[in-house]
Structure 1
């Protein structure tokens, strides 16, 4: 008969099975460098000084022990028979089917409540027989993956400023007279052109967003939100005393904080819709990531993520098989086939010597990897270097550098947002402006636009180079600083690039030794698959190198790729803290430095090994295999036949006689675009018509005179309206855009008066709405720089900035001259308990549970009425089962907070359970898993009870297994 465990045995067992709470739990087990060194003990031992032996012993003792995998009670299962078969299989083995995993067909998320939630090993039992079920094609128990948020940790010398105003947004406008101002991202200029992200939907993959934040509530989109951690539709973060879950709310404010509402900041895309996917506040598994990446891909345009594997300089990790599928499904089916846009922060491991090529998220061709720079263009201390970075934005730097202002938890603001976490949402906001300019661009078009428009400006880096296609590129900053104005201008006239092709070439499978202090050079000669039209790559986009390397200390390796044109990409730099002996097992490195170059020719892979002092240099690494994967197009992405033909036609058609001119902007009005004289267009002379007529089908907007090409700008006359002039080129459209009105008699789009966004004629008093920043005076249908006497414009809700030519203009949405405003609509002032209903044009009552609200529903409360408590996203008269009433710092109202896990009901936080969920027993006000034991010792159990060990989380399950059946 076995003896019961003692207290010391329990403590020892707990240390053996649980990782230290202060250390992250990486997914891949590691071996210490000390162990790698002792593997060569069979070699003749040189004479070694005693001091070196002591130092080596100390180093070995200080190495972290290999981290253990943490297994959860969640499984991913592939069952091709549909939801019904999946439910039956789940029931047969005691699982609960939580539904399809994101957009992955036939993949289901199973949960088993009777398996320990977190375990150091895979627990076997009757549930394990699911592996043998004939309906199950594949099953994977989910393992916890370490994912860290990419804000820079506070520097001890950091001086905190808490002044969240427009004047602090130095990275958007130059309003600070005491500092050298940089605003090369040209966001103001994009706003000038009328773009603010309208009708674009962005979601933040993070720890949740505060949906009722005054600067987010108006733009919050419930359909773009989900709580993957809690399996519900409320992305509100979990509040605690440390405000740990502030990250998502901060990122959301950068993108879509509401403009002109007297609170905090202005988002880059201040008219976009913003949502949040709460997925980092819990165990992050492959299922969790795949679900998050696949939520409503036909509704959400942009997914922004500022997190990734540990930036510790030793981790090599990336998306699992399900998350990889989710990326692929997103770019193929998202946005109705145009492709979801995934934006990723490049990483904050600079101080640890990390390299973002070891992060499989930023290293993916499907993500836009974004870097950071300080306000003066210096490299931030946290920045990682790699060849997959596409572009850069401003962020924080040293303690004396200014940081980023944004929204914060508890309806507050902060001016302390830092790291590459800042940069991904900024680029997401710029892409939202771009999608408003042209909603039909694809996920690859967006990457091409970033490559074409980003600029080195004042970014300081020693490795700036010009590749063979003429692009300036750096391992620190990619193609340079994002330029919002250039993005929207290019997008407006953009034609989608040709289809993506993939050409793969595998090296011969001959093992090559990597010798210390030498370079291994191996080559692959590629034809760009020119013999296969479906795979041919003539012009490059992404280049991927997949390697199988065996090595005693992975961090000693450096890897570079040299293109046929001579462009060198550093795929991997030395990593001081990477002591793993696992090498690279079919790891994929990616570079964008060859973008636009020709694919054909000899590619050279260069690997060098610089052994650290604590490694035996006689143990050689091996390159067993490498594969070159080229992504690109078979024809030039920008030189299409149609565009060249169109330019030729514009030169050949004679002008009807009016002189073209480009007037300078008038100082009396904030003209937002260069205005050009219009020319009448009545087709072409018959002598030219015969020469220019196109033999194929014309565009559906072309008139009876035919065309000289297939597109709308090749028409010789139009069915509906002609837009443009001889200098800029004409195109046929069905409706005239903003800034123009339809002249039906002449079938022309004619310009409105300066300042008018919509109009019925060219006169100054024929406006119907104004361009952004002007005041609409309805009495005379005019657009003014300020309201006339007797009319009110809320100047505190708008900010004036000076354009380069000296004209002041408003950068916020159109402001009306009236008494009160709601957005861009004049409204009466609504009392507490009511909101302005834009459709009914009156103040309507909130739900009876709300004291203030954004709409009539019970889920649209900003603040709860008296005697109501806030639970999740609604106000309730009393907390429901599984919640308790409590105070939250920073909130004036009481809230319902979740009981501890496994409690069905409780009286407060911690061990105050009063009722347990099924499968758990109540022991000392704590719910612990049911267990059967036959060896309970009464004396031992009395000791457990007297020391109240079962109340300590570490010992609960051990106490249960030994004492529960004894009734103690």
Structure 2
């Protein structure tokens, strides 16, 4: 075997072998065994083809005819550079420029990505080279030929330098993406690229079997020349690092998540999401907390899509999917690199998220505010990319401090690994001090949670991470169509939603299953948290965090957790990014950190004490913190859907823009759930000072009747068991008719007895008020009636 090409990511080598001649298989086996036995070899993988798809959700034909007779694509091999044309004046005369709604303020509400402001400042992507890793590009297309860069191009599939795709009607995707970035402005062809003076190349690698070595060769291409890859990172561009842009994915219709994509979970990737013409989530969009920002793309078939070039020499208005968003982001990034060529790959991520504009997309549910006051969304990252703001910040940006990495490993108590079955919820918490004795991380950039879980149906698992500053990040939502039984093995879940926060304090990982099959089981083996960030603020003007006091934990509410009493010492291991581990004998990290012991708990002025279980630690507190509820003398974690709750699944308030179903009635089993929109039969009620709720419609009909759901104004008869009702069945009674009593249906239902008790007012001394004594006296009668009714059933 011989080493082929340059090492990938510094430590990965591609070995090639001679498969010809007698005894080739025996030689191969001996070679593999010899290599694997070497102590310096960490892993040996046999290269096999993998399935890779182009991220457009529907294939549309070109709607603009070819400009001239198409020639055979694979025969055009000449490479010619042309003089750059001068920048034309706005508006551009290109025939389809007026259809590029996402560039000229014609999205609903007058929004766009503010590219024209960057153009008017004189930026068009000069001296920036972008490579499209796809099925090749039509390098002699009339709207690309002046900007084609042969040094950013190659053909991995056919092992030559020409990235021209096969002219078979299927390989047009890469060319379309290239046109979004670098289509020439001011000519009479198609539309305009975002960075119309940039250099564009292509790597033809999806037009054949795709293996790890094919992907590595694509990413390794001419790193010192190429600035942006749309599809290494640290060593390219003279040590500043290549910019790697990736589409978040089109599996949304199957409820897939980009958290299961190995590229979007890399810290080196700018994961780009999509928004529609009317500023909504596209139906195909995958959601994940690694998405950093959004650009426009397509929606339904009757809404406008993206305008670009097409093969062999035509144009299209129908480019679609999240892969139409990533090239727009690459073009905007090229404008920023022209403004400041010194930006590193981390600088670019900083300024993209800082300048993203959430306002056009706030009409979508799911937005939240993180610990430093920025709006975040699993759908849209930090918001819509803003080219003008990005360029302005790029011009004054100072290079960020050195990146540090700090590792915390959670060590399970026995049993280890932990058995899991059916529907469950477990939380595991640890204290982070930022690796103060290693390479400190005091200002977060990326967080990776690496975990191993085996479960009978992987798609039923849900993982949520809570930061010390109160940010809730859903690392993995349920994925109903994932029936894999192997689970996740050392899978890195990435979130960028805590960017800029102080990591010191208590972190909690909530692991849940939504399974309704109690026979499904598995094991939870381990989890490790990797903190990436800096010791100093990213910019001199940024907020500077003060010294850490391990007795004052960051918590999401003002109440906070009380001081810890005694806790175990074996539940976490810490490493400081290449420095020595700093776990001290008290179980904490950093300088004298850890969980302090309180010698005399009686000195604390607490009205009552509750044991707050965090992972496998117990802390005595005066009250349960936000996100927990009291269950006897224990504080337990609410469901991740709740902001606050009365029990594990009964929410009192919801996160972000979600609505709370508030129908305390045994016919409505969804009472206390948080939802994006109200189900049929309920209406949304918004008041500025309280939680938005879904409630029953007001019944304007006379007693014994209800208004039909068809909003016709027709009043229909209640069931004979109901004196008052909101629907036709006996489970929709609001008051029983004479001779009928209330009955609970199943364990999840709630009888009117619970409602009566809940509505009793209690004075400060804990006694029931006089006017409620009559209610208390009637409880026995209600119980007897309910019991009689159940016996009759």
What aligned pairs does 1:336-735 form with structure 2 within 5 A after superposition?
Answer: 336-459=238-361, 460-510=363-413, 511-532=417-438, 535-612=439-516, 615=517, 617-639=518-540
With normalisation by structure 1, the TM-score equals 0.50
Please give the residue correspondences for 1:734-745 in structure 2 after superposition, counting only pairs within 5 Å.
none
How far has the Cα of 1:161 moved from its partner? 7.7
Partner SS, residue 234 of structure 2: helix
Alignment-derived partner of residue 70 in structure 1? none
Q: 1:127 to 1:514 in 2, by over 3 A?
A: closer
Matched, 1:221 2:149: yes
| Secondary structure in structure 2 of the residue aligned to 1:623 | strand
Deviation of 1:602 (Å):
0.5
**Counterparts of 1:550 and 1:514 in 2: how far apart (Å)?**
9
CA distance in 1, matches of 2:166, 2:520: 50
* Cα shift at 1:518: 3.0
The answer for the alignment partner of 1:200 in structure 2 is 128
Residues of 2 paired with 1:217 and 1:115: CA distance? Answer: 46
State the partner residue of 1:245: 171
Quote the residue 1:211 is aligned against.
Answer: 139
Contact 1:209 1:235 in 2 (8 A): yes
Tell me the residue number matched to 2:680: none
C-alpha separation in 1, matches of 2:222 and 2:210: 20
Contact 1:206 1:279 in 2 (8 A): yes
Aligned mates of 2:154, 2:389 — CA distance in 1? 34
SS of 2:334's partner is helix
Contact 1:182 1:376 in 2 (8 A): no
Shift of 1:299: 0.5
| Secondary structure in structure 2 of the residue aligned to 1:191 | helix
The corresponding residue for 2:588 is: none
Q: Specify the SS of the correspondent of 1:626.
A: strand
- 2:207 maps to 1:281: yes
Q: 1:482 & 1:226 partners in 2: Cα distance?
A: 30
Deviation of the 1:233 alpha carbon: 0.7
C-alpha distance in structure 2 between counterparts of 1:132 and 1:575, whole Å: 39
Q: Do 1:545 and 1:628's aligned partners in 2 also have CA atoms closer than 8 Å?
A: yes
Q: Which moved more, 1:589-598 or 1:128-137?
A: 128-137
Partner of 2:216: 290
Contact 1:211 1:220 in 2 (8 A): yes
SS of the equivalent of 1:363 reads coil
Which residue is equivalent to 2:618? none
Q: For structure 1, list consecutive stretches of 5 or more residues without a partner in the other structure.
A: 1-88, 91-96, 117-121, 306-329, 644-968
1:150 aligns with 2:55: yes
8 Å contact kept, 1:279–1:292:
yes
Spell out, residue by residue over 1:712-744, the C-alpha distance to the aligned partner (whole angstroms, 9 max, x if none): xxxxxxxxxxxxxxxxxxxxxxxxxxxxxxxxx
Distance (Å, rounded) in 1 between the aligned partners of 2:9 and 2:455: 38
**Match 1:300 to one of 226, 229, 233:** 226
Which position in structure 1 is the counterpart of 2:75?
Answer: none
* CA distance in structure 2 between the aligned counterparts of 1:452 and 1:288, rounded to whole angstroms: 34
**Structure 1 residues 349-396: Cα deviation after superposition (integer angstroms, max 9, x where no partner):** 000110110001011111000000001111101001110000000000
Check whether the contact 2:421–2:521 (CA below 8 A) recurs between aligned residues. yes
Which structure 2 residue ranges, 5 or more long, are not aligned? 66-93, 545-793
CA distance in 1, matches of 2:542, 2:308: 46
> Match for 2:13 among 102, 107, 118?
107
The verdict on how the C-alpha distance between 1:584 and 1:411 changes in structure 2, with shifts beyond 3 A counting, is: same
Asked if 2 retains the 8 angstrom alpha-carbon contact of 1:101 and 1:287, the reply is: no
CA 520–161 in structure 1, closer or farther in 2 if over 3 Å, else same: farther
> Counterpart of 2:172 in 1: which secondary structure?
helix
- From 22, 46, 64, the equivalent of 1:141 is 46
Q: Which of these two proteins has the greater Rg computed from alpha carbons?
A: 1
> Given the superposition, is the C-alpha separation of residues 522 and 164 from structure 1 closer, same or farther in structure 2, using an over 3 Å criterion?
farther
Match of 1:679 in 2: none
SS in 2 for 1:624: strand
Shift of 1:100: 3.9
**Which residue, 156, 169, 176 being the options, matches 2:100?**
169
In the TM superposition, what is the alpha-carbon distance from 1:596 to its structure 2 partner? Answer: 0.8
**Alpha carbons of structure 1 residues 356 and 164: separation in structure 2 relative to 1, 3 Å:** farther
Q: 1:547 to 1:380 in 2, by over 3 A?
A: same
Using the TM superposition, give the Cα deviation of residue 407 of structure 1 relative to its aligned residue in structure 2, in angstroms.
0.8
Q: 1:149 aligns to what SS in structure 2? A: coil
- Secondary structure at 2:224 match in 1: coil
| Structure 2 CA distance for partners of 1:144 and 1:433, relative to 1, 3 Å | same
Deviations 1:545-574 (A, max 9, x none): 011112111111111000011110001111
TM-score by length of 2: 0.61
Task: Name the residue aligned to 1:737.
Answer: none
RMSD: 2.6
CA–CA distance in 2 between the matches of 1:578 and 1:227?
A: 34
DSSP-derived class of the 2:307 partner = strand
Are 1:542 and 1:590, in contact at CA under 8 Å, matched by a contact in 2?
yes
1:84 alignment counterpart: none
Tell me the alpha carbon deviations over residues 92-111 of structure 1, each in whole angstroms, 9 at most, x when there is no partner: xxxxx754466757834525
Indicate the SS of the match to 2:29. helix
Q: How big is the shift at 1:524?
A: 1.4
